[in-house]
Amino acid sequence: MTELTDVVVIGAGHNGLVCATYLARAGRKVLCLESSDTLGGMSAPRTIAENYHFSGLAHTANPVSAAIRRDLKLQRFGYEPGKAIETIALDLEGRHLTIGANRISGDALSESDAKSYIKFRKQYLAFAKAMRPLFENKAPRLKHMDFADKASFAMLGWNIRLRLGRDTMYEFLRVAAINIYDVLNEAFDDELLKGAIATDAVMGSAMGPRTPGTVLTWLQRLHGELNGPMFVQSGERSQLVHALAQSAEDAGVTIRLNAHVEKILIENGKAFGVKLLNGEVLEARTIVSNADPRATFTQLVGAPELDTMFANRVTQIRGTGVVAKLHLALSGIPEFTGLTVSQLSNRLLIAPTMRYVEHAFNHSKYDQSSENPVLEITIPSLHNDAMAPEGHHVMSINIAFVPYNPGGDREEQQTSLFDKVIAQLGQYCPNLKSLLVDHELLTPNDIEREYHAVRGHWHHGELSIHQSFMMRPLHGAAQYDTPIESLFLCGAGNHPGGGLTGLPGRNAARRILKLGRNA
């Protein structure tokens, strides 16, 4: 059967939906194909033991940008970022540290560190803000620039040289490419504070605090904060995907679930359609892939349609997931030593020192998992009762660093990891074990299988400097268009990368519209 549409978008993750909706609003006839039976990809809700609901892989988020909210009328479709939360860095002795956007408190925190924190955060937010032209537009090319590229560079130069001012600019140029470890050691003494910020810089990446490039990953995180404070994803309104789906539908996007694309059809160097696993062929003028660029090129396109070096560079894209997700169904409220119930609605971190984080990372380099993993914990049911049966709770935990290729028996690995995390958590939350009803553990391996993310990487590719900006996912395909005519990319593997920002999707749509009807 052949059906004619303007655009086929492969994958209904949030970037795919954002891209599809933008294109539909611009008058294109858009068909969005999703291989699973739910929308949202990594941000699609999950349920365990029937009544315990989770927000999917991403348990916290920053609001999407005002532009996307406005353009896609997300408010109208019910999107409302959740209540701002703070971060509590847990201390084994109960001297926890509460870290907020503009305040910080803790029993053991020195006054000078408290002051430095405010100054530090302000400075780095200014850096993130200065980088906006780079983050929010297509990545400019370094030769053969078009007007938009020149404008991005001009804005960036203006921001860095003139808006930051000379001294701040010097500082920005000094730190932009280095590691968070050195920067934090310069700024603070408090180990708990340094551990917490370092965790934010490395979570989701196969990098330790000492790895150069971690200031940049942290700046990318801060860039999200420019849209508003972090919140816990807990049910309909706070979860972007619900509003996105409605906005897409409203714009006229046709969404098909359980439609697994097997191949992108190409003739004479031009993509003209897709073939589904069931053999069905869908033709379109433009094909947009929200899939991992590695999967897009090696599986959906295939080497015969690509140049040798390009195909080779695709295989060299680095991105192996090192974070596992543990979902716990609990029969009651977990009690953390030294924390009140109301404090539990915040994000809790177990990352007491930078050395602890670095050690956790060390093991993953050799495909082992650390005895002392870094944990990021949220309890979404404290934000929305509907997430769990009455009186019950759900806890969502990111575990870093977990190897993708641990070797050995899979079941055994899972059990041992689960036990390790529960034991670790038990030190801070003595009643946890007694509350366990059920759990679900998603290792990078599982994430790869469930979300078609190559090697289980959240961001479809490491956010290292050599895979950022005009080199993301790889040069030759870093402006959303690809060597294949009419084939575009719109996923997290592209500039500016992962997180629930929708920016890759929006930028890709703008690029497609810019290139015109026949793109």
Partner 1 sequence: MLLSANNYDVIVIGAGHNGLTNAAFLAKAGLHVLVVEKNSYTGGATASRELYDGWKYSNSSYVCSLFRPEIYNALDLGRHGLKVIPLTSSMTFKQDGDYFGSYHNPNVRRRELMRHSMRDADAAIRFDADIMRWCKLIRNFLLRTPPDPGSFRPRDAFEFAYLMKKFHELSESKIYEFIRFFTMSIAEYLENYFENETILAHYSGGSIIGTGLGVYSPGTAYVALHHAMGDVDGNIGAWGFARGGMGAVSGALASALQAHGGEIRTDAEVAKILVSGNRTTGVRLTSGEELSAKIVVSNLDAKRTFTQIMDESDLPPKLVERARNFKIRGSSGKLNIALDGMPTFSSLPKGSPLTLGHMHFTDTLTRLEKAYDDWKDDRWSTDPYCDVLIPSQYDPSLAPPGKHMMTVFVQYCPVAPEGGWSDDKRDQFGQTVIDQIADYSPDFKNLILHAEIRTPRELEAEIGLTEGNIFQGELTFDQLLFNRPFPGYAQYRGPVRNMYMCGSSTHPGGGVMGAPGANAAREILRDLKKPDTTPAAFSDD
Partner 2 sequence: MNIGHEHFRRALQHTPFHDRIAALSATEDWTGWNGYKVARVVDKLSTEYFAVRSGCAVMDLTPMEKYRITGNGAREYLDRLVTRNISKLRPGRVTYVIWCNDEGKVIDDGTLFQLGEYDYRLCAQHHQLDWLLMSATGFDVHIETETHDVAALAVQGPTSCSVLTAAGFDKLDQLKPFGIVDLQCKGIPVTVSRTGFTGDLGYELWVKPEDALNLWDAVFDVRGLYDIHAMGLDALEMVRIEAGFIMPGFDFNTAESTIRNGHDRSPFEVGLGWVVNLDKGHFTGRKALLAENSRPARRRLTKIVIDGNKPVREAFLYDRKNGEQVGEVKCATWSPVLKANLALADIDCVNGKLPPKLWARLDYQRELKWHTAWAECHVQSKPFYNPEHRSATPPPRF
- Tell me the two tokens of residue 192: 């708990």
**Residue 311 contact, options partner 1, partner 2, none, Cβ 5-8 Å cut-off depending on partner type:** partner 2
**Residue 250 contact, options partner 1, partner 2, none, Cβ 5-8 Å cut-off depending on partner type:** none
Binding residue (CB under 8 A) for partner 1 from 4, 66, 118, 177: 177
Residues 10 and 358: their CA atoms lie apart, in Å, by 37
- Tell me the two tokens of residue 12: 């209904």
- Tell me the two tokens of residue 382: 């404290």
**Residue 365 contact, options partner 2, partner 1, none, Cβ 5-8 Å cut-off depending on partner type:** partner 1
C-alpha neighbours within 13 Å on the C-beta side of residue 123: 20
Q: Which is nearer to partner 1, 96 or 210 (CB)?
A: 210
446 touches 399 (CB < 8 A): no
Q: Which is nearer to partner 1, 118 or 173 (CB)?
A: 173
Of residues 306-325, those binding partner 2 (CB under 8 A): 306-312, 315
x/- binding map, residues 283-302, to partner 2, per CB under 8 A? ---------------x---x
- Tell me the two tokens of residue 234: 């807990």
Q: How far is the CB of 304 from partner 2 (least distance, A)?
A: 5
Of residues 348-407, those binding partner 1 (CB under 8 A): 355, 358, 362, 365-366
Residues 72 and 305: their CA atoms lie apart, in Å, by 35
Q: What angle do CA 350, 356, 358 make, to 5 degrees?
A: 120
Of 319, 216, 291, 405, residue with least CA distance to 8:
291
Residues 72 and 74: their CA atoms lie apart, in Å, by 5
3-state DSSP call for residue 57?
Answer: coil
x/- binding map, residues 202-241, to partner 1, per CB under 8 A? --------xxxx----------------------------
x/- binding map, residues 82-121, to partner 1, per CB under 8 A? ----------------------------------------
Only one of the segments 71-79, 140-148, 220-228, 428-436 lies at the binding site for partner 1 (rule: CB under 8 A); that segment is 140-148
Residue written as tokens 């990487």? Answer: 457
DSSP assignment string, 389-456: STT-EEEEEEEE---S---S-HHHHHHHHHHHHHHHHHTT-TTHHHHEEEEEEE-HHHHHHHH--GGG
- Tell me the two tokens of residue 156: 């960036």
Report whether the peptide linkage leading into residue 496 is cis, meaning its omega lies within 30 degrees of zero: yes
Of residues 318-347, those binding partner 1 (CB under 8 A): 318
Q: Which is nearer to partner 2, 185 or 315 (CB)?
A: 315
Label residue 275 exposed, middle or buried (CB < 10 Å: 0-12, 13-18, 19+). Answer: middle
Of residues 250-289, those binding partner 2 (CB under 8 A): 268-269
x/- binding map, residues 475-504, to partner 1, per CB under 8 A? xx----------------------------
**Residue 308 contact, options partner 1, partner 2, none, Cβ 5-8 Å cut-off depending on partner type:** partner 2
Of residues 445-504, those binding partner 2 (CB under 8 A): 476, 483
Only one of the segments 20-28, 303-311, 326-334, 406-414 lies at the binding site for partner 2 (rule: CB under 8 A); that segment is 303-311
500 touches 11 (CB < 8 A): no
Contact between 513 and partner 1 (CB under 8 A)?
Answer: no
Residues binding partner 2 (CB under 8 A)? 268-269, 298, 302-312, 315, 476, 483
Residues binding partner 1 (CB under 8 A)? 141-144, 161, 166-167, 169-171, 173-178, 182, 186, 210-213, 316, 318, 355, 358, 362, 365-366, 464-466, 470-471, 475-476
